[in-house]
Homo-oligomer: A and B are copies of this chain.
């Protein structure tokens, strides 16, 4: 008998028919003799509706009232799943964040889980119940409801699984697992049986929206095994595990891309000490995250070109913030380009293999794709290219690294 935490997202609980399908999935694991705890999101679309109400009421997004309103979405789905399970003769009860309790730091709209008291959930197991936990919510030190931010239900699931010492945390989604590349673009992409936390983290932060970054981070920290799988069948998905668990590690596990970035180039910025701080300080103050940064060596010792990327949604604000300091920074021109894509080759195997980046550059060069910016980490090589080459680059790289399905 294993203890399993199952997490279902908004599309999996979008209506009563789907919630009944979730109940059937729960039953399948129970029939195998396992102990199951379920974590749910709100019905698809409901959170957006509640956010709309709150916005019309004049609500700042990060406030106690906003959280209290938003948390109702999960309160509805957990109650309904418990009812469906009871209807099938399976004892079950719902658990809200404040009932368990799931204690958070009290920061509204993006709270962090600090502790989960397991006594009540253990008692629920002992009573033969399937506990159904409301994701996305907790309670702050002042007794008010807090929410964890978008996608917080993944984080709830991992935290509950870790607290309960679950053998597996199954994340049910509408895809079959984690792929070597986006199957909508790369037709012969392969589903990965296993992937490391580090690789998953890079995938998630690069826009492969299967799992929330925070949830993966928490799983890595607590060593919680994740299983990303489809809610449409009982086919195995992708296990997200520690590096030690993967015996034969591929050099490259997958090719990811992110269309959400935009590029800004400052032409002939004054080349003097402290210039980077003068540019990026104001951006940080405006809460604009900068991702890739490239600065060339100055040819004449006086001025240089500097390129960086920000989220597309922040582009206008970033341009205004930098231009407001044009006199101080002394650049001659600012070039903003939203039509770019970041393509990344990811694999823990590249730690011990040279030539991974080189193959990427060669492959793109052969296809006539110009690389605008390069950035590397221990397990990832990312390049910024013109958006129109996205499909061409992904397919070429997928083949070049031997990832194509046979």
Of the listed stretches A83-91, A162-170, A287-295, A350-358, chain B binds A83-91
Q: Which residues of B contact A94 (CB under 8 A)?
A: 64-65, 68
> A50 to B80, alpha carbons, bound, how many Å?
10
Known A-B contacts A57-B84, A87-B58; the reply to A79 vs B65 at CB < 8 A is yes
Q: Which residues of B contact A83 (CB under 8 A)?
A: 54, 57-59, 63, 65-66, 69
A99 at interface (Cβ–Cβ under 8 A)?
Answer: yes
The listed residue (B19, B59, B72) touching A72 by CB distance below 8 A is B72
Which parts of A50-85 form the interface with B (CB within 8 Å)?
50, 53-54, 56-59, 63-66, 68-69, 71-72, 75-76, 78-84
Q: Which residues of B contact A76 (CB under 8 A)?
A: 50, 53, 69, 72
Closest B residue, CB atoms, query A145 = B96
Per DSSP, chain A at the interface is helix
Copies assembled: 2
A185 at interface (Cβ–Cβ under 8 A)?
Answer: no
Closest B residue, CB atoms, query A75 = B72
Q: Which residues of B contact A82 (CB under 8 A)?
A: 65
A208: shortest Cβ distance to chain B, in Å? 33
> A82 to B108, alpha carbons, bound, how many Å?
15
A54: shortest Cβ distance to chain B, in Å? 6
The listed residue (B56, B79, B87) touching A16 by CB distance below 8 A is B56
Q: Which residues of B contact A96 (CB under 8 A)?
A: 68
A93 at interface (Cβ–Cβ under 8 A)?
Answer: yes
Q: Which residues of B contact A144 (CB under 8 A)?
A: 99
Closest B residue, CB atoms, query A81 = B57
Q: Which residues of B contact A50 (CB under 8 A)?
A: 76
Closest B residue, CB atoms, query A16 = B56
A98 at interface (Cβ–Cβ under 8 A)?
Answer: yes
> A246 to B270, alpha carbons, bound, how many Å?
86
A273 at interface (Cβ–Cβ under 8 A)?
Answer: no
Q: Which residues of B contact A59 (CB under 8 A)?
A: 80, 83, 86-87
A143 at interface (Cβ–Cβ under 8 A)?
Answer: yes
Most buried by B among A20, A79, A84, A96: A79
Q: Which 3 pairs from chain A and chain B are nearest by CB?
A: A58-B87, A69-B79, A72-B72
Query: What are 5 contact pairs spanning A and B, CB under 8 A?
Result: A50-B76, A54-B79, A57-B80, A66-B79, A69-B76
Task: Identify 20 new A-B residue pairs, CB closer than 8 A, beyond the known A16-B56, A68-B75.
Answer: A16-B53, A16-B57, A19-B57, A20-B57, A50-B76, A58-B83, A58-B86, A58-B87, A59-B87, A63-B83, A65-B82, A65-B83, A65-B86, A66-B79, A68-B78, A69-B75, A69-B79, A71-B75, A72-B72, A98-B98
